[in-house]
Amino acid sequence: MIEKSCVVLCGGKSSRMESNKTILPFGAYRLITYQIIKLSQIFSSVAISLKENKKDEILRILDDDISKTKINIESIQIITEDLEYFSPLFGILNCFDTLNANEIFFIPVDYPFIKSHTIGILINNSNDCDVVYAKDSNKMHPLIGIWKRNIKDKIAKALKNNEFKILDFLSSCNAKSIYFDTLEFVNLNTKQDYENALKILREEYGTK
């Protein structure tokens, strides 16, 4: 068990999916519940970051799904923000403002196959950096990684200056990317991505 806070980021528009990807059926549960169950076995504390207008819907789904598990729903903290902007930096700043944590591991809800070993590598290489995040042969994954509180003010300043692009922000930080040559970074952006992920779930994880 990793004694750190983990936050599942659910504040995106899901525009390419054309529906709220957070609540898509995934195995025996919804996508958000699938992530919560997996991450609760890795981290001592798991929270969800989302837009305020999605809170009631997510809570209803979690209450229904988690009642089938041994997880206490009251242990899952819900962190909301109601800004009209969709930059992940707003969610990250809000999490540091809300949680009493010097380090937070962030992961988007739509990366369901990230393994505990990968998470461990990222955390174990974070001692001398403000942010350590994953990359593969296709792209950077700045929202899969460990972020430290000491850049909170820098995030706030960037947002005040309307600097919303996360990779541009990281270029101004003591940040490091770690390469992973795996298939873990399947990202559910489109309906085809979702169908492909369900196929992986059936074939590699034995889930119907």
Edge-to-edge strand ranges of the sheet holding 175-179: 77-81, 43-51, 2-9, 103-108, 140-148, 131-135, 175-179
Say how far apart CA 59 and CA 37 lie, in whole Å: 15
Q: Nearest 5°: CA angle at 11, between 160 and 55?
A: 115
Q: Express each pLDDT in 56-67 by its tens digit.
A: 888 888 888 887
Say how far apart CA 57 and CA 103 lie, in whole Å: 28
The model's confidence at residue 161, banded by pLDDT at 50, 70 and 90, is very high
Q: Which residue has the tokens 């798991």?
A: 46
Strand, helix or coil at 142? strand
Name the CA dihedral angle for 11, 181, 147, 44, rounded to a multiple of 10 degrees: 80
Residue 208 has pLDDT above 60, yes or no: no
All structural domains of the chain: 2-202 (3.90.550.10)
Whether the CB-CB separation of 202 and 208 falls below 8 Å is answered with yes
Cα 199 to the chain's mean position, in Å?
22
Whether the CB-CB separation of 61 and 109 falls below 8 Å is answered with no
Regarding pTM above 0.75, the answer is yes
Pure H helices in 9-54:
31-40
Say how far apart CA 125 and CA 132 lie, in whole Å: 7
Q: Express each pLDDT in 19-72 by its tens digit.
A: 788 889 998 899 999 999 999 999 999 999 998 888 888 888 888 888 777 777
Pure H helices in the chain:
31-40, 55-66, 88-98, 116-124, 152-160, 166-170, 191-205
The model's confidence at residue 15, banded by pLDDT at 50, 70 and 90, is low
Whether the CB-CB separation of 6 and 111 falls below 8 Å is answered with no
User: Strands 103-108, 77-81: parallel, antiparallel or unpaired by DSSP?
Assistant: unpaired
**pLDDT value for 151:** 95
N residues, the chain: 208
